[in-house]
Amino acid sequence: MTAPSESSTSSGTPGNADAAAWAVINTIKVLAMDAVEKSQSGHPGTPMALAPAAYVLWSKFLRHDPTAPTWADRDRFILSCGHASMLLYPLLHLTGYGVSLDDIKNFRQWGSNTPGHPERGHTPGVEVTTGPLGQGVGNAVGMAMAERFLAARFNRPEFDIVDHRVWAFVSDGDLMEGIASEAASLAGHLRLGKLCLLYDDNRITIDGSTDLSFSEDVQKRFTAYGWKVLRVSSGNDLKAMQRAYAAARRESDRPTLIILRTEIGDPAPTKKGTSGAHGAPLGAAEVKATKAILGWPEEPFHVPAEAADHMAKLGRRAGREHKAWRKVFAAYAKAYPTEAVEFEQWMAGELPSGWDAGLPTFAGEKGLATRQAGQVVLDAVAKALPNLLGGSADLAHSNGTVIKEGGDYTAETPGRNVHWGIREHAMAAACNGMAAHGGVRPFAATFLIFADYLKPSFRLSALMHLPVVYVGTHDSIGVGEDGPTHQPIEQLAMLRALPNARVFRPADATETTECWKLALERTDGPSMLALTRQKLPVLDRAKYAPAAGVRKGGYVLKDASGAARVILLATGSEVHIALAAAEQLEQQGIPTRVVSLPSWEIFAAQPKAYRDEVLPPSVTARVSIEAAATFGWERWVGSAGTTIGLDHFGASAPAEKLYQEFGLTAGRVVDAARGLLQGGTR
């Protein structure tokens, strides 16, 4: 542990040498105050406190090009404390990212590109959407992992075409969240030397002093994780911050935490250092008084020419590094043309043409759990997509997510099998970071029940339009003996209700191939593959419809012998129960159609004509069966239909026994269908 400096300069009083620096810093402070004041909403205090730290980073360390926000080898900057968005927007404005002063005036307004929290894809220069605390720490870890993976793959002697760092600003709240602990422990384990977190140690949370709830020794805790920890004792000591960043940049073997003691809202005379500066406008009087302290005109949104010029110049200068890199890359492309093409293809997120040619087909096999089929598919996919990497939260073999010959992702060698440890939440957030970084296709696996543990990050995959592939195995009471703590019930509904997520629940090995394929073809959001623990028959596609129907989300797997009087709808393992029930109903003279519905989202997005073809409105006797909460199934079975599922928790017993006891049987489906035909009501 090195303490670069314990000295501090007094607040807001620049020396002559860095007048331009303080002009910029104070511009950020003022814009933050003014924007929050104008919108009467937002968080002024943290941008004010972190303005100096951000200035030093952005002016002297951050490798970026405001004219090319997606430059592959840029440093990544993450504002994990996303509520401090008014720190980032002024920086983007001043350095030339195309955020205008009007945008800043429209902070938090409809249609503006300066939303309350930074949103990826919404504002150039915003790497990830932050706000839910702790997520940025996980994202940062994933980005640093992606960097190392790509560097190992593409760098060649004299060509370090991948060589950038990840900088993240984090708050007390970030560090209190469990996800940050998971991510930090993993980062220490992997010795991610290019990762640096700056911790805004302001000793204030919304409810008051951190003394209310937070008295741990953060420095010792991060040292325990294997991090290098530096301290800077004043948020206004530019030189000390510069030394700390420089030390972080010199470090190659450990991630670095810089603990920066700040005063929230500095220099607001009555509110600085209090929770009153955190999440509400300072108020006109306080803003006025603060501007007086800063020697600023009262006029809102004033940006002195000195600050604008200085940062614009820095922005332009930053572009030079990009130019230099482009030269190096051009030389690289000559020396290593194949690698260069591949690098660009990876960074563009494109699948190589014909990538799916080698995907497995399944036929005639004996029973195969869809998780086992998933492993077979992954074996093929991993060969076709060398930038696919990921792993499981300590359940790799159970999940069927081992990339054979992919090597382990360790501190020494960034292979393709990541051992996330029992850290589902950080796993998902790191996958978001990897996907947001670009160049790699990440996947994350665990038991489906533990989707609960990673839900906040899964939501952010969807919100950020990141094509992370999630594998959730042991997807029902088919788990059996492990009992109700491990048996998903409401998880499918939880994930299906989320916008822009796709949930796949394939009925057999063949559908599993199609689902994996659809998940990988996605470019704009996450997919969850819900796979069985238990073996399932591999459907003979000569007898049933081709699994290509999966591409429409739902399809007639087995049609009725005549005009269907009953439609059975099912997903995953319960499709086989539906098929058995249909056979019995047919034997009883009731023409019955079976629809497999592996992805509700894709099916719902089909034209009405197709949906009506699969589920003709005239056939109202419909029974759904799924070993999960029936919640939501009314969408497909309609008022006249019946849902069979589990609106209670599971139990510990062999799977077959549970299916019997809980009435997930062909007999019950038959009875329900007959009941509907006989005019029974639900």
The catalytic residues are 424
Closest CA to 629 of 646, 644, 642: 646
Q: How far is the CB of 219 from a second copy (least distance, A)?
A: 8
Q: Could you say which residues in the range 7-66 bind a second copy, by CB under 8 A?
A: 39, 41-42
How many residues bind a second copy (CB under 8 A)? The answer is 111
In a 13 Å sphere around the CA of 313, the CA atoms on its Cβ side amount to 10
> Cβ closer to a second copy: 349 or 484?
484
Amino acid at 142: G
> Which of 455, 535, 565, 674 contacts a second copy by CB under 8 A?
455
Provide the token pair at 128.
């990830």
Q: How far is the CB of 409 from a second copy (least distance, A)?
A: 10
> Which of 203, 221, 302, 326 contacts a second copy by CB under 8 A?
221
SS3 string of 201-264? ECCEECCEEHHHCCCCCHHHHHHHCCCEEEEECCCCCHHHHHHHHHHHHHCCCCCEEEEEECCC
Q: Are 403 and 389 in contact (CB under 8 A)?
A: yes
Asked if residue 665 binds a second copy (CB under 8 A), the reply is: no
> Cβ closer to a second copy: 243 or 459?
459
Burial class of residue 337 in the structure, from the number of CB atoms within 10 Å of its CB (0-12 exposed, 13-18 middle, 19+ buried): exposed
> Cβ closer to a second copy: 48 or 658?
658
> Cβ closer to a second copy: 26 or 473?
473
Q: Could you say which residues in the range 616-635 bind a second copy, by CB under 8 A?
A: 620, 629, 631-632, 634-635
Q: Could you say which residues in the range 373-392 bind a second copy, by CB under 8 A?
A: 392
> Cβ closer to a second copy: 323 or 649?
649
Q: Could you say which residues in the range 530-589 bind a second copy, by CB under 8 A?
A: none
Q: How far is the CB of 16 from a second copy (least distance, A)?
A: 40
* Residue indicated by tokens 């100096």: 52
Q: Could you say which residues in the range 168-197 bind a second copy, by CB under 8 A?
A: 172-173, 176-182, 185-186, 188-189
Amino acid at 213: S
> Which of 33, 294, 550, 658 contacts a second copy by CB under 8 A?
658
Distance (Å, whole) CA 219 – CA 1: 9
C-alpha distances in Å from residue 235, one per residue of 84, 200, 217, 238, 284 = 16, 9, 19, 8, 25
C-alpha distances in Å from residue 229, one per residue of 1, 79, 166, 220, 621 = 5, 19, 16, 8, 66
Exposure class string for 167-191: b at 16+ Cβ within 10 A, else e: bbbbbbbbbbbebbbbbbbbbbebb
Q: Could you say which residues in the range 129-168 bind a second copy, by CB under 8 A?
A: 129-134
> Cβ closer to a second copy: 323 or 397?
397
Q: How far is the CB of 182 from a second copy (least distance, A)?
A: 5
Q: Could you say which residues in the range 313-372 bind a second copy, by CB under 8 A?
A: none
29 contact partners, CB below 8 Å, separation of at least 6: 47, 48, 51, 266, 290, 294
Q: Is 581 helix (H, G, I), strand (E, B) or coil?
A: helix
Instruction: Give the DSSP letter of residue 414.
Output: B
Distance (Å, whole) CA 22 – CA 307: 8
Q: How far is the CB of 631 from a second copy (least distance, A)?
A: 4
> Which of 437, 459, 474, 668 contacts a second copy by CB under 8 A?
459
> Cβ closer to a second copy: 182 or 475?
182
Tell me which stretch binds a second copy (CB under 8 A): 51-59, 231-239, 545-553, 644-652. Answer: 644-652
Q: How far is the CB of 127 from a second copy (least distance, A)?
A: 15
Q: Could you say which residues in the range 492-531 bind a second copy, by CB under 8 A?
A: 493-494, 496-500
Q: How far is the CB of 208 from a second copy (least distance, A)?
A: 8
Q: How far is the CB of 597 from a second copy (least distance, A)?
A: 15
Tell me which stretch binds a second copy (CB under 8 A): 46-54, 528-536, 583-591, 642-650. Answer: 642-650
Q: How far is the CB of 203 from a second copy (least distance, A)?
A: 13
C-alpha distances in Å from residue 95, one per residue of 55, 103, 319, 632, 666 = 11, 14, 10, 48, 65
Q: How far is the CB of 506 from a second copy (least distance, A)?
A: 21
Asked if residue 597 binds a second copy (CB under 8 A), the reply is: no
Q: Could you say which residues in the range 61-120 bind a second copy, by CB under 8 A?
A: 82-83, 108-112, 115-117, 119
> Which of 14, 638, 663, 675 contacts a second copy by CB under 8 A?
638
Provide the token pair at 559.
């049609």
Asked if residue 283 binds a second copy (CB under 8 A), the reply is: no
C-alpha distances in Å from residue 525, one per residue of 14, 117, 605, 607 = 46, 20, 15, 21
Round the CA-based radius of gyration of the chain to a whole number and report it: 28
> Cβ closer to a second copy: 19 or 604?
604
Amino acid at 177: E
> Cβ closer to a second copy: 332 or 453?
453
Measured on CA atoms in the order 546, 547, 551, 553, is the torsion positive or negative? positive
Q: How far is the CB of 561 from a second copy (least distance, A)?
A: 26
Amino acid at 584: Q
Q: Could you say which residues in the range 390-429 bind a second copy, by CB under 8 A?
A: 392, 394-398, 408, 419-426
* Residue indicated by tokens 């459907």: 539
> Cβ closer to a second copy: 353 or 639?
639
Asked if residue 280 binds a second copy (CB under 8 A), the reply is: no
Asked if residue 124 binds a second copy (CB under 8 A), the reply is: no
> Cβ closer to a second copy: 189 or 302?
189
451-463 and 135-154 are packed helices; what angle lies between their axes, rounded to 10 degrees? 70
Q: Could you say which residues in the range 461-490 bind a second copy, by CB under 8 A?
A: 462-463, 480-486, 489-490
Provide the token pair at 564.
């269907």
211 contact partners, CB below 8 Å, separation of at least 6: 203
Q: Are 556 and 612 in contact (CB under 8 A)?
A: no
Q: Is 558 helix (H, G, I), strand (E, B) or coil?
A: strand
Q: Could you say which residues in the range 241-270 bind a second copy, by CB under 8 A?
A: none
